[in-house]
Structure formats: structure tokens, C-alpha cells
Amino acid sequence: MILLEDPKCRGIMFAWQRKLSPATKLVLKVLQLNGWMTQEEIINETYLPPRTVKYAIKNLREDHRLQERLDPDDLRRKYYRFNGQNLHRRKDL
């Protein structure tokens, strides 16, 4: 696990997070703090456009950083949360 100090973020980041766009980092942070959320809840929390949130979710899912589950009451709706188990997984090496 490689940690980097980022003065802009005022904290510690993992090396894989440096490649993420600012919007994707925001979505990731919101999911880390709040747990399971729908896309609509993420949009309301971050004030990002729906298209930007969809793109961020797509990138995080492709990188195996999110867990996804269906809403049992409405199968069209999906819930997402940060998958902290894959912190040691490095696709970029």
C-alpha cells in the first residue's frame, strides 16, 4: 500500500486515487462517509450533474472500488458503497 501526501487534499491519499478526477474523488469520499447510497442520493449530496456521477460510478466500478446491490423494492435502482477491501489491489503496476 502506497500512501502519498497531497497538499491540495490536506490528507493522505492512496496512489491509485491520484489518477481520479476531482468529481470522482468527491463521489468516492461521499460513499466512504455515508455507506450505501443510490445514484440520486449521491447527486443530491455532491451537487454534481447526473452525467458526471454516472461517469464516476462507472470508473469506480471498473476499478473494483465500489460494491453494488439492487434495491429489493425497485429493481431499477442500485445502491453503491465504497469497497474498502480492495485498497491493496493495484491495477496500475
* 3: enclosing H helix or E strand: strand 3-6
Q: Within 10 Å of residue 27's Cβ, how many Cβ atoms?
A: 29
Residue 92 lies in a domain: no
Residue 42 lies in a domain: yes
Comparing 30 with 6, the larger pLDDT belongs to: 30
Answer yes or no: pTM beyond 0.75: no
Residue 93 lies in a domain: no
Contact status, residue 51 vs residue 68, Cβ threshold 8 Å: no
Residues 29, 44: Cα–Cα separation, whole Å: 14
The DSSP letter of residue 77 is -
| CATH number of the domain where residue 27 is located | 1.10.10.10
Q: How many domains does the chain have?
A: 1
Four-point Cα dihedral 50, 83, 79, 70, nearest 10:
130
For 36-93, the pLDDT digits (tens) are 999 999 999 999 999 999 999 999 998 888 999 999 999 999 999 998 755 444 444 3
- Give me the domain span that covers residue 44: 20-86
